[in-house]
Structure 1
Amino acid sequence: MTSNRFGLTAAALLCAAGAALAQSSATDEIAKYRQMLADGNPAELWEMRGEELWKTRAGPAKASLERCDLGKGAGVVKGAYVELPRFFNDTGTVMDLEQRLIHCRMTLQGISREEAVRQPFGAAGKQSNIEALVAYVTSESRGMKMAVSTAHPLEKRAYEAGKQMFYYRGGSHDFACATCHSSDGQRIRLQELPNILNKANAQAAYTTWPAYRVSQGEVRTMQHRLNDCFRQQRFPEPVYASEVITAITMFLAKNADGGVYAGPALKR
């Protein structure tokens, strides 16, 4: 009897070890696949189109976005993304990149908010100008360290609100962001789930968005990624460029402070 139990235990351990090795092997192969594609990341096409859109006169005002202030002065794009979200004096609010681009398109180019938020995500062969603009702006911070401020009271409030949302449980599955992203070593199938409370994990996760998603053939922004998280939690889809998304983005970005920005990256 003892021998039989020992045999069963040994078999179970071997199965578990085999499964772990299989998962590790598959993860390694995915990493190799990403590395092979990285040198020819299609996100570069979005970056180029975004730069063209940034410099093209458009809207009723026939103006470009070259005077858009992303926080470092009118027209300064270099290094702007690694300091976002941030408080802006001209609006009296904390804004992330997508919110700020909407603001600039409205105030500089004279387009309506409805037009500015139309088709934030590319689909069914229709490209999104917003995704292209985000790809361009973020690419101008590549290689720089994240340095998000919470010095202003409204920045601090946004961070705390984002933290609260991270832990908030709800929906039909009683899920929170923390359900998947507050422990080490978790995964869904072959998808690793970064622990956002772990500094290194938070840096690795945040600094690679936006990203070109091979499975979707599109560059996807942080807003799109967070929408997908809400969907998997069975929450209602958040309003595009809402304060809720900005708050969560602030929480994630601040947790990634010091990480070297490497986006737009490449994802499965």
Structure 2
Amino acid sequence: MRRKGLFIFMAAALGAAAPAMAQTSTTDEIAKYRQLLADGNPAELWEMRGEELWKTATGPKKVSLEQCDLGKGPGVVKGAYVELPRYFKDVNKVMDLEQRLMHCRMSLQGLTREQATKTPFGSAGNPSDIEALVSYITAESRGMKMSVSTAHPQEKRAYEIGQKIFFHRGGAHDFACATCHSVDGQRIRLQELPNILNKTNAQAAYTTWPAYRVSQGEVRTMQHRLYDCFRQQRFPEPAYASDVITAVTMFLAKNADGGVYNAPALKR
């Protein structure tokens, strides 16, 4: 009887451990899959096209973006992304990368807002110049540590607004960003859901965007990632390059401070 009881106990223990073992196994296999593809990440094609676009004179003014100031001086892209979003004195506001690119395309190249934000998210046969430019600029910060400032009052305010949005519940499902991203160990199907309130998780999540999405065959930027999150929560769709997105990005980026930037990455 004692042997039978021991057998039942061991079977129950193994049964309880099985989901955790399966989850770990799945996570490990996904990590191996990403590693196998990492050396041939298609995002490199977006990076090369983005560099060409950055240096090409275009728009009504027939100038390139090489004088665009991303925060470290006109034309400096090396290390710019790991310090964004940030306060820009010339416009008296906090901007993320895509907002700043839109501003430079309008002010330097003479594009209208509509032209500067045309096709923010690419699709088959309809590539996005913005996703290419973002890929190039972000790649120039690869290997550097995130260092986002909240020293300026407007930077601090953007962070606080982003934090409030992160925890705000609403929409048809009464969801918030925090519903999925404020608890350790959560997942949906095979997808891990990083806890953004955990610094290690926040660093690992933020520093791998933008990314080439295998399932979509496109590079997706942080703007797209957040837009898609709002869509899935059934929230009103935020306008492209809106201050709402910048505020949430500021919250995420600051939480990732100190993390080594490693993107454009590759994701499912």
- State the partner residue of 2:79: 79
- State the partner residue of 1:98: 98
TM-superposed CA distance for 1:226, in Å, is: 0.5
Measure the CA separation in 2 of the matches of 1:159 and 1:251: 5
SS at 2:46 equivalent = helix
- What is the identity, as a one-letter code, of the residue corresponding to 1:213? R
Long gaps (5+) in structure 1 = none
TM-superposed CA distance for 1:6, in Å, is: 9.3
- What is the identity, as a one-letter code, of the residue corresponding to 1:147? S
Alignment identity in percent?
78
Long gaps (5+) in structure 2 = none
CA-atom RMSD in angstroms:
1.7
TM-superposed CA distance for 1:11, in Å, is: 5.2
1:111-131 CA distance string (max 9 Å, x none): 100011111001132110000
TM-superposed CA distance for 1:82, in Å, is: 0.4
- State the partner residue of 2:129: 129
TM-superposed CA distance for 1:190, in Å, is: 1.2
TM-superposed CA distance for 1:24, in Å, is: 1.4
Q: Structure 1's 4 and 172: CA in aligned 2 closer, same or farther, altered over 3 A?
A: farther
Q: Structure 1's 9 and 245: CA in aligned 2 closer, same or farther, altered over 3 A?
A: farther
- What is the identity, as a one-letter code, of the residue corresponding to 2:235? F
SS at 1:219 equivalent = strand
SS at 1:57 equivalent = coil
SS at 1:109 equivalent = coil
- State the partner residue of 1:26: 26
SS at 2:231 equivalent = helix
TM-score (norm 1): 0.96
SS at 2:160 equivalent = helix
Measure the CA separation in 2 of the matches of 1:234 and 1:262: 30
TM-superposed CA distance for 1:15, in Å, is: 3.0
- State the partner residue of 1:111: 111
TM-superposed CA distance for 1:234, in Å, is: 1.1
1:194-205 equivalent positions in 2, closer than 5 A: 194-205=194-205
TM-superposed CA distance for 1:13, in Å, is: 4.2
TM-superposed CA distance for 1:235, in Å, is: 0.8
Q: Structure 1's 5 and 113: CA in aligned 2 closer, same or farther, altered over 3 A?
A: farther
Measure the CA separation in 2 of the matches of 1:61 and 1:28: 51
- What is the identity, as a one-letter code, of the residue corresponding to 1:127? P
- State the partner residue of 2:171: 171
1:192-226 CA distance string (max 9 Å, x none): 11110111100000000000011111000000000
1:42-57 equivalent positions in 2, closer than 5 A: 42-57=42-57
Measure the CA separation in 2 of the matches of 1:171 and 1:8: 46
- What is the identity, as a one-letter code, of the residue corresponding to 2:29? E
Measure the CA separation in 1 of the matches of 2:56 and 2:244: 31
- State the partner residue of 1:225: 225
TM-score (norm 2): 0.96
- State the partner residue of 1:155: 155
Measure the CA separation in 1 of the matches of 2:248 and 2:127: 26
- State the partner residue of 2:265: 265
Measure the CA separation in 1 of the matches of 2:35 and 2:124: 28
- What is the identity, as a one-letter code, of the residue corresponding to 2:202? A
1:67-115 CA distance string (max 9 Å, x none): 0000000000000000000000110010000000000000110010001
SS at 1:98 equivalent = helix
